[in-house]
């Protein structure tokens, strides 16, 4: 049996009983849905060895090839399995610990991620440091064998459910820009950490402000050498889009199908301008899939190249246009919620949340700068 067949039959068997209610729950813009059942599902997946497939066997992974990981993500999305609650651990901090951690750190932090027992959040952005991340002001100093951390992070996705946060902090007083930063691993459940949810225009809160006021973590919980955090932080960003990209495509296809179905129902499919936009959107979806496959090929060959920026720019701009199209095909019904408790429908939520796609994981302007400078060799703007 291939890995694809194995995961397909495992999902068919296990997304049943108590977990059948979890189908389709969660994901960007819908992280508030069914957290508890999704956490239980994450642990079930972990028990069966279906998390962290690409990790080395000694840390509980399967050393699956990129193609096998893609097959997993495609089957997972096809089965409408619930969005993973452990994706920041599996996709961002896990690979960073594997590549930049000590053996002791790997043994401490990797198994609970793999088993779905510890969830993580990413503490990079601050009120004065977003695109320009080197402006980080949060500071930490060593005192009595512990790092003591003071400062504020913002837009911290899922901090309200996270057990740990990886925090970029200034540990050399007076240092500037990307020098003198350290990459600290900080437990969230302690008196010095306060999490305040930010209400988004979808009405839900997926990200937060996080205040550190004398928060503490052990001196050993620094990834890479103290003062060398920038290099480690950049490595984490490099993992931000990997094998899960092709699973994302299947989610996009499903959303697109819903837009077409709605256009048929409301009569928008008869409108020549909207028909044109629907066809254009479909064509771009096909191009995106082919480009994602090409990116996978170059990732298997080694270092990610500029296609990562091109891919991010392309999918996020496309998805935002799909959100606008989703509103257009609904006509007037897209402008109102159905009645108390005024829940948004899927297409309204798609429209509102897709506005964020061109901001997180590097805004479109930043991606264009990267493509201009590193691929086209244009001078800095
Ligand atoms: C849904 C969502 C989830 C997020 N989750 C997290 C998280 O978990 N952890 C975390 O640390 N952060 C998170 N972020 C924050 C995200 O990384 C930042 O929003 C992003 O880096 C942009 O930074 P900023 O918001 O400070 O905007 P700014 O950097 O202030 O940018 C404002 C505008 O100026 C433009 N701009 C900035 N610099 C340039 C330039 N050099 N050239 C041209 N244009 C420029 C930008 O493109 C943007 O349009 C999240 C954001 C969103 C929307």
Architecture (CATH level 2) of domain 120-226: Beta Barrel (2.40)
Nearest CA to ligand 1 atom 32: 131
| Distance (Å, whole) CA 328 – CA 313 | 23
pLDDT at site 245:
66
Please state the φ and ψ torsions of residue 80, each to the nearest 5 degrees. 55, 35
Residues pairing with 105 in the sheet = none
Q: Which of 6, 33, 240, 284 is catalytic?
A: 240
- 201, with CB counted inside 10 A (0-12, 13-18, 19+), is exposed
Tokens representing residue 190 in the block: 């302690």
Pocket test for ligand 1, best of 125, 158, 373 (most atoms within 8 A of CB): 125
Tokens representing residue 356 in the block: 């964020």
pLDDT at site 230:
97
Pocket test for ligand 1, best of 124, 126, 130, 229 (most atoms within 8 A of CB): 130
How far does the centroid of ligand 1 lie from the alpha carbon of residue 207, in Å?
13
Residue 381: CB atoms within 10 Å: 8
How far does the centroid of ligand 1 lie from the alpha carbon of residue 364, in Å?
10
Nearest CA to ligand 1 atom 44: 365
The SS3 of residue 82 is coil
pLDDT at site 297:
77
Tokens representing residue 320 in the block: 């935002």
Question: The tokens 């495609």 sit on which residue?
Answer: 74
- Residue extent(s) of CATH 2.40.110.10 domains in the chain: 120-226
- Residue 13 appears among annotated catalytic residues: no
List ligand 1's pocket residues with C-beta within 6 A.
Answer: 121-125, 130-132, 155-157, 207, 356, 359-360, 363, 365-366, 369
Cis peptide leading into 314, omega within 30 of 0? no
> 241-376 domain in CATH 1.20.140.10?
yes
How far does the centroid of ligand 1 lie from the alpha carbon of residue 374, in Å?
20
Cα separations in angstroms, 295 against 68, 77, 125, 319: 15, 19, 27, 19
- Residue extent(s) of CATH 1.10.540.10 domains in the chain: 3-84
Contacts for 226 with CB less than 8 Å, ≥ 6 apart = 171, 182
**Torsion sign across C-alpha atoms 354, 358, 359, 362:** positive
Query: pLDDT truncated to tens, each residue of the chain (381 aa)?
Result: 899 999 999 999 999 999 999 999 998 888 989 999 999 999 999 999 999 999 999 999 999 988 898 899 889 999 999 999 999 999 999 999 999 999 999 999 999 999 999 999 999 999 999 999 999 999 999 999 999 999 999 999 999 999 999 999 999 999 999 999 999 999 999 999 999 999 999 889 999 999 999 999 999 999 999 999 999 999 998 887 555 666 788 889 999 999 999 999 999 999 999 999 999 999 999 999 888 888 777 777 666 667 788 888 999 999 999 999 999 999 999 999 888 888 899 999 999 999 999 999 899 999 999 999 988 999 987
How far does the centroid of ligand 1 lie from the alpha carbon of residue 359, in Å?
5
How far does the centroid of ligand 1 lie from the alpha carbon of residue 155, in Å?
9
Tell me how many degrees the CA angle 9-285-331 measures, rounded to the nearest 5: 105
Q: What is the DSSP letter of 83?
A: P
CATH topology for the 3-84 domain: Butyryl-Coa Dehydrogenase, subunit A; domain 1 (1.10.540)
- Nearest-atom number in ligand 1 for the CA of 127 is 26
Pocket test for ligand 1, best of 363, 364, 367, 374 (most atoms within 8 A of CB): 363
Q: Name the pTM for this structure.
A: 0.95
Tokens representing residue 203 in the block: 């009405």
Please state the φ and ψ torsions of residue 172, each to the nearest 5 degrees. -115, 105
**Torsion sign across C-alpha atoms 217, 222, 225, 231:** negative
Q: What share of the chain is helix, strand, coil (3-state, %, to 5)?
A: 50, 15, 35
How far does the centroid of ligand 1 lie from the alpha carbon of residue 243, in Å?
24
Question: The tokens 């010095």 sit on which residue?
Answer: 192
Nearest to 28 by CA among 374, 381, 360: 360
Residue pair 134/178 in contact (Cβ under 8 Å)? The answer is yes
- 199, with CB counted inside 10 A (0-12, 13-18, 19+), is exposed
- Residue extent(s) of CATH 1.20.140.10 domains in the chain: 241-376
| Distance (Å, whole) CA 289 – CA 245 | 9
Nearest CA to ligand 1 atom 14: 155
pLDDT at site 367:
93
Nearest CA to ligand 1 atom 1: 356
Residue pair 331/264 in contact (Cβ under 8 Å)? The answer is no
């Amino acid at each position: 049996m291939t890995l694809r067949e194995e995961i397909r039959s495992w999902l068919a068997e296990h997304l049943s009983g108590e977990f059948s209610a979890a189908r389709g729950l969660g994901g960007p813009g819908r992280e508030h849905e069914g957290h508890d059942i999704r956490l239980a599902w994450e642990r079930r997946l972990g028990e069966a060895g279906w998390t962290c497939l690409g990790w080395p066997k000694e840390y509980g992974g399967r050393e699956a090839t990129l193609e096998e990981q893609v097959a997993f993500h495609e089957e997972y999305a096809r089965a409408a399995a619930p969005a993973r609650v452990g994706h920041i651990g599996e996709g961002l901090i896990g690979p960073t610990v594997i590549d930049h951690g000590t053996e002791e750190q790997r043994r401490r932090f990797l198994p609970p991620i793999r088993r779905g027992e510890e969830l993580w959040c990413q503490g990079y952005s601050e009120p004065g440091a977003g695109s320009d991340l080197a402006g980080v002001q949060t500071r930490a100093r060593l005192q009595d064998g512990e790092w003591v951390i003071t400062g504020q992070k913002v837009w911290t996705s899922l901090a309200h459910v996270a057990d740990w946060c990886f925090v970029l902090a200034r540990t050399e007083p007076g240092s500037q820009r990307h020098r003198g930063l350290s990459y600290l691993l900080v437990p969230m459940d302690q008196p010095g950490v306060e999490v305040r949810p930010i209400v988004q225009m979808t009405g839900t809160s997926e990200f937060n402000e996080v205040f550190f006021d004398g928060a503490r973590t052990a001196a050993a919980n620094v990834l890479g050498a103290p003062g060398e955090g920038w290099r480690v932080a950049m490595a984490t960003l490099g993992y931000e889009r990997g094998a899960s990209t092709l699973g994302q495509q299947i989610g996009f296809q499903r959303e697109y199908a819903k837009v077409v179905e709605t256009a048929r129902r409301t009569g928008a499919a008869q409108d020549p301008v909207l028909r044109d936009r629907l066809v254009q959107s479909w064509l771009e979806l096909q191009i995106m899939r082919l480009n994602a496959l090409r990116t996978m090929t170059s990732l298997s060959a080694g270092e990610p190249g500029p296609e990562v920026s091109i891919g991010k720019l392309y999918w996020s701009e496309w998805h935002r246009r799909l959100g606008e199209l989703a509103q257009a095909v609904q006509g007037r019904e897209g402008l109102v919620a159905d009645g108390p408790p005024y829940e948004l429908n899927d297409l309204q939520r798609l429209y509102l949340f897709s506005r964020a796609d061109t901001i997180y994981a590097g805004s479109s302007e930043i991606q264009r700068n990267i493509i201009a400078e590193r691929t086209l060799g244009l001078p800095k703007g």
